[in-house]
Structure formats: C-alpha cells, structure tokens
Amino acid sequence: AQDLQKYTGIVEDCCCHYETVSLNEEVLHPQLQELVTMPFFRYFKVKLWCNCPFWPDDGMCKLRDCSVCECPESEFPEPFKSPFKCSLQSDNLVCQEGKPQATVDRTLDSKAFRGWIETDNPWTNDDETDNAEMTYVNLQLNPERYTGYAGPSARRIWDAIYSENCPNYSHGETLQEKNLLYKLISGLHSSISIHIAADYLLDETTNLWGQNIGLMHDRVLRYPDRVRNLYFTFLFVLRALRKASAYLEQAEYNTGNHAEDLKTQSLMRQLLCNPKLQAACPLSFDEAKLWQGQSGPELKQQFQKQFKHISALMDCVGCEKCRLWGKLQILGLGTALKILFSVDDQNHTPLQLQRNEVIALVNLLSRLSVSFKLVNEIGPSAEKLMGGQISAA
Ligand code: FAD
C-alpha cells in the first residue's frame, strides 16, 4: 500500500482509493470480464470505412493485427440476422483483412435493436441511426492491443486532440469544467497505452506476445497525472453506470439465445445491484454542480462541440483495429456524458439509450477496469524494476 501511495500520488487526492481498488479487483473486474464475452456485449456496430475529414493522407499501420476480423454471419445471434442471407464460403469464416466487401451483415438493425430505441448520440460525430455502411464486429476476436500503429499519423491525431480540443488548463485555471475533457481524454489515452503495453508483440520473428512493462512505465506509470486521469475516467464512467442503473436493470438483453440472454441479464443485475457498488466511495466530482455558473451553458456547448470534434478525429485513425476501439471508447465516453449531462433530472427527461451505446459503455468500463487493475498490480513493482533493469522496447 505504501508503495502504491508513493508511486501514484493518488491517495492524497482521493480518500477512497483502496476501497475502489478492492471494489475493482473483487467485484467489477471479474463481472465485467464475463459480461463482455456475452453475445449481447461482444458485437459492436461501427462505421469503419470512412473518409478522414481533416487530412486526406491518413496513414496505414504495418501489421496484419491492425485489421479487424469481422463477424462471420454464422456467428450472429439470431435476432441480429437479416432476412436476406447471402451464402457464405467457408473461407469467409476466417479473419478478413478489413476489406469493405468482407462478409458483413448490414441489414440487421430493425430486428437486432428490438426493444431499444434508435437515437443519435448528441456527443458523437457519427450518426448512429444511419445504418448504411455499418459493420458488426466481434470484439472478442479483435482485442485492443499493440498493432504497430505509430509515427506521424498517430501523433498528429493525439496532437490535434490535445492542442485543439482539450488543452490542459491545470496550471492556473481553476474552472473544473474546463479541465474535465482533458482529464477524460488523458485517462482514456493512458488506458489505450496500457493495453498496448499489456499485449505487446515482443518478438516479431517468433510472434511472441506478452507484457512490455518498460513501455507501460515509460508511457503511463512514471507520470502520476496520467495514472490519476485514468483513475478519474474510470470513476466517471462508473458514476454514469450507477446513474443509469434503474434503466439498465430493466433493459432487455435479447439476442435470441434464451439461456445466454438470461445470464446476461443476471450478470447485469449482479453488477448494478451490488451493495459494494451502491456504497462506492465518494465521487471524484459532482456532475450536478457543473455548468451552473453564468457561463455554464456556453461552456457546456463548447465542451460538447470539442468532444464531437474528437469523435470525428477517430475517422482519421489509420489502423482499423485502433479505429474500432477508438470509436467504441469515444462512444462509451459519449454515452457516459449523455447519462450525466444530457438527462435533466429536474425536468424529468427520461433516459433513453441505444443498444450500441450500452455495448460501448460496458466495454469501455471493462477496458478501464483492466487498465486500473494492471496499474495497481504492476505499478509499484515497475518502479523498482525500472532501477535500470528494464526499458521500453
Ligand atoms: P503517444 O501515445 O502517441 O502519445 C503522444 C503524446 O501525447 C506523448 O508524447 C505525450 O506528450 C502525450 N501523452 C501520452 N499519453 C498521455 C496521457 N495519458 N495523457 C496526456 N498526454 C499524454 N496503437 C496500438 O498499437 N494499438 C491500439 O489499439 C491503438 N489505438 C489507438 C487509438 C487512437 C484513437 C489513436 C489516436 C492511436 C492509437 N494507437 C494504437 C497508437 C498509440 O496510441 C500511439 O500513438 C503509438 O503507440 C505511438 O506512441 P508514442 O510513444 O508516440 O506516444
């Protein structure tokens, strides 16, 4: 515990760090890991082939692992299927290289989204109700990990995100609202870097994958603010999940597989109704206090515009798998923002979520939970190891 305290500097900021660590390790992490393997949560609808609106020459990554492996039709849960099935060759059932013509069922929505509304997320750039060119991806077949995507293309996206859309005002700027977007994106960036380092191609010739602790240390662990922002983003999304729990408890998790669907429903209830989650430590902020001052509405509008712009930048990510997870996680954050900031409790505007928003929210929380666990497990020992013995590849 002392190591962790020294190393992250988190504890002074948040009195409940240790409670959250144990809540994550004992409850959230195992439950979320199981939940995201269920049929309802493992298919994500995404527009992957899109033009980058900002730079015409968006780069490509170098590894096959960048390519998204789409869902063979035989894998779709029954209600996801279109009435117009095309015949499949057996070689369609292996990983595709992310070609637009790959076997993807794009006529699924009216059935697949039964019981769920069709609505656009006000925080993201893609129109979620526009089903043209949407692809269904099995997230379990496309884990977020090292892809080799780096260099100027990746760099200019992160640069554009930070410099144009969420500058860090922490030095001197006191308005909580102004720094919120920076903290959320920085926390997400930390999580992406941790997943890259946790599942890294250590040796290309032998195709050996494993943890690159040096990289994890260099990119995240040695920066207390990046660790803190990861923690903040995790709590933010958790807060949204808690706020939406009544809605999510009653939702239908229908994929046509009765046994699996019942299990999904039960796992969701276990997650949402867990007394430890209900009693979870004080929140890292109180959303009801935001956007209240005179400039509140204006700040909120600006925040929403900047977030949308970041969401649009995902179309410029020059590696399909990174784009997939970038879009999913930005939609997950957009969903958390919608739950926390677009639902007016006083005017009783009811919360309505689209199926894809729930899938994104839960998968994002699962990713953050894994990152948070890794930071707590590896962080303290990484610092000791970094006494010169290991370094990033
Ligand atoms: P980068 O991670 O590119 O960081 C750029 C700069 O941002 C750093 O120099 C630093 O100044 C700042 N910075 C870094 N971390 C933080 C933080 N947490 N908070 C604040 N500032 C920070 N690559 C993969 O291999 N797999 C993926 O799944 C993947 N997904 C991606 C998704 C998106 C949306 C993007 C834009 C890129 C993705 N990449 C992925 C690429 C990856 O994020 C890095 O850009 C790449 O590995 C090169 O890393 P880097 O060391 O140059 O630093």
Which has the higher per-residue pLDDT, 335 or 17?
A: 335
Question: For a pLDDT cut of 90, what percent of the chain falls above it?
Answer: 32
pLDDT of residue 309: 93
Question: Is-contact 240 22, C-beta < 8 A?
Answer: no
Q: In the chain, what are the helix, strand and coil shares in percent, each to the nearest 5?
A: 55, 5, 40
pLDDT band at 263 (very low <50, low <70, confident <90, very high): very high
How much is the average pLDDT of 197-225?
Answer: 92
pLDDT of residue 53: 74
Average pLDDT across the chain, whole number: 76
Ligand 1 centroid distance, CA of 158 (Å): 7
Give the count of alpha carbons within 13 A of 66, CB side only.
18
Question: Is-contact 327 334, C-beta < 8 A?
Answer: no
- Nearest atom, ligand 1, residue 186 CA: 19
d(CA 112, CA 66): 27
pLDDT of residue 103: 31
* 42 CB-contact burial (10 Å; exposed 0-12 / middle 13-18 / buried 19+): buried
Which has the higher per-residue pLDDT, 107 or 178?
A: 178
pLDDT of residue 175: 62
The answer to which of 159-173, 176-190, 251-265, 320-334 has the lowest mean pLDDT is 159-173
Q: 59: which DSSP letter?
A: -
pTM: 0.84
d(CA 6, CA 12): 10
- Nearest atom, ligand 1, residue 155 CA: 3
Which amino acid residue places its CA nearest to atom 49 of ligand 1?
A: 150
Tens of pLDDT, residue by residue over 339-385, are 988 776 666 678 889 889 999 999 999 999 999 999 999 887 777 77
Tens of pLDDT, residue by residue over 73-99, are 555 555 544 333 322 233 332 332 333
Tens of pLDDT, residue by residue over 10-28, are 433 444 466 777 888 888 9
Question: Is-contact 156 56, C-beta < 8 A?
Answer: no
How much is the average pLDDT of 298-321?
Answer: 88
- Nearest atom, ligand 1, residue 144 CA: 28
Cα–Cα–Cα angle for 32, 37, 42, rounded to 5 degrees: 110
The answer to which of 214-218, 284-288, 320-324 has the lowest mean pLDDT is 284-288
**Is ligand 1 within 6 A of the CB of residue 390?**
no
How much is the average pLDDT of 172-182?
Answer: 71
CA neighbor of 28 nearest in space, from 372, 379, 263, 376? 372
**Is ligand 1 within 6 A of the CB of residue 49?**
no
Which has the higher per-residue pLDDT, 123 or 17?
A: 123
Question: Is-contact 106 134, C-beta < 8 A?
Answer: yes
pLDDT of residue 322: 87
pLDDT band at 155 (very low <50, low <70, confident <90, very high): very high
pLDDT band at 46 (very low <50, low <70, confident <90, very high): confident
**Is ligand 1 within 6 A of the CB of residue 325?**
yes
Query: To test the ligand 1 pocket, which listed residue (158, 316, 372) has its Cβ within 8 A of the most ligand atoms?
Result: 158
**Is ligand 1 within 6 A of the CB of residue 322?**
yes
CA neighbor of 71 nearest in space, from 39, 32, 118, 116? 39
